[in-house]
Amino acid sequence: MSGFLDRKFGIAAAGSTPLREVTGGVVTFLTLSYILFVQPAVMGAAGIDPSTALFATCFGSAFACVAMAWLANYPIALAPAMGHNFFFAFTACGALAMGGMGLSWQQALAANMIAGLAFVALSALRVREHVIRALPPTMKHAIAGGIGLLVALLGFEWGGLVRASPATLVQLGDLGSPAAKTTLIGLAVLAVASARRVPGAALVSIAITLCVGVAFGVAQWPERWVATEFAVQPVLPQLDFRGLWESSHALEVVLTFFFLMLFDTIGTLVGVGARAGLLRDGELPRAGQALFADALGTVAGASLGTSTITSYVESAAGVAAGARTGLASLVTAALLVLAWFFHPALASIGASAGESGGIALHPVLAPVLIYVGAMMSRSLADIDWDDRTLALPAFLTLVTIPLTLSISDGIAMGCVSAALIAPCVGKARARHPLLYVLAAIFVLRYATR
């Protein structure tokens, strides 16, 4: 068996062993396992049955991990992307009165499916390189940082740390409330566990926060830990492509899903690849196969009932534990499938603990959102603030995303301002031509609202 694995995945040639690969796969699973609690709650806000969302998360992610292992042989796991899921639930499916697009979850999943299929079709071409080059690096870092702030803001809301204010829109919440105290204790636990490099720090935090929440009366122990029935709502027949294209936001939401998928995937592949020593002259071998596996994951996830599935930066934890080949991704896939059989416990832990100012509270999950937001904001350090032609566009992108709860509005602000400033200072040719096309599309979008 070990001989077959070595021939298939080149374990010895990669300087690894089967044991290291298995260990790395387990560590990666533990590190990203928070998504099993978060995703059903987020998709539930969009109207998708939480059990169906969990099934789609487990099996869609497992499928994508297998594709990554078999096609690209990389120790990179895939799961629903943080930030993408919030765009899906709170922007694409958000109420028009709250600045959302007003799509049904059936229409939003159809848009996600189209974006995934487009990514599959373009994976063998060089179109993605042109799209990636259209946005300056500083803008890409600002988008990632803005998404991090958005995720953290929702964590603050879910934990009761902030609440609505008639005067300032948002203000400090009641830190003495059971939900807020549970969130703060959980965040402290997660911060310490992460600083001490505890494998699966997020999972440890959720377990301890659950105990604290039970003591404070804002959480409850699962009535059942292991599933005894497996009823899942079929999603694929419900995808509403006709209703999507009747919406004025159809093109916008499809393009947003596509761009987010593209930029996140490239950043993760390069980042984890560099950590694993996989880059060759600054390029990632088999990047096309990895992007193809990523796109297949999104198509599978949309057909089952979850938002964009993409490469996870948490895979770096598995790499740090020794993973170097696709065998680690196969191990992660197996654990994702196994997790489905414990879905009653996962659903109970992620359940709402009531509301505060119209916002559902999830104090057991809130610390993880805040911490993930902090980690995603690391990209802000890479913004070139000395470049005056891009500093303001980057800043507008960064702050617009959390203030409007809209990733697309943040990208629009950045693209339009960057396209306006460059020609005015004689640097029109310093920007990719496609940037001006994107800016024109955004201007047209707002002018015709």
More confident: 331 or 170: 331
pLDDT in tens, 289-345: 888 888 899 999 999 999 999 888 778 767 767 788 999 999 999 999 999 988 787
- pLDDT tens digits, residue range 112-157? 999 999 888 876 666 665 665 677 878 877 887 887 888 788 889 8
- pLDDT above 70 covers what percent of the chain? 90
24 neighbors 200 (Cβ within 8 angstroms): no
Cβ density class 345-354: b for 16+ within 10 Å, e for less: bbbbbbbbbe
Residue 281 confidence (pLDDT): 64
CA–CA distance, 69 with 63 (Å, rounded to integer): 10
For residues 384-410, give the mean pLDDT: 87
Tokens describing residue 210: 């659950």
pLDDT tens digits for 94-118?
A: 876 666 788 999 999 999 999 999 8
Asked whether the predicted pLDDT for residue 161 surpasses 90, the reply is yes
Q: Provide the domain count of the chain.
A: 1
161, containing H or E segment: none
- Of 119-133, 216-230, 338-352, 368-382, least confident by mean pLDDT is 119-133
Q: Nearest Cα to 18, choosing from 31, 3, 36?
A: 3
Close Cβ partners of 34 (under 8 Å, ≥ 6 residues apart): 202, 203, 206, 365, 368, 372
Answer whether residue 446 shows pLDDT above 70: yes
Specify the higher pLDDT residue, 181 or 26.
181
Instruction: Return the ∠ at Cα 272 (arms to 269 and 277), rounded to 5°.
Output: 110
Cβ neighbours of 104 (radius 10 Å): 17
- Residue of 76 and 319 predicted with greater confidence: 76
CA 235 to chain centre: 21
Structural domain boundaries, residue 207: 2-447
Distance CA 403, CA 103 (A): 21
pLDDT tier at 55, thresholds 50, 70, 90: very high
Q: Rounded mean pLDDT of the chain?
A: 84
What pLDDT score does 17 carry?
A: 86
Query: 1: pLDDT confidence band, cut at 50, 70 and 90?
Result: low
Dist. CA 82–CA 373, nearest whole Å: 9
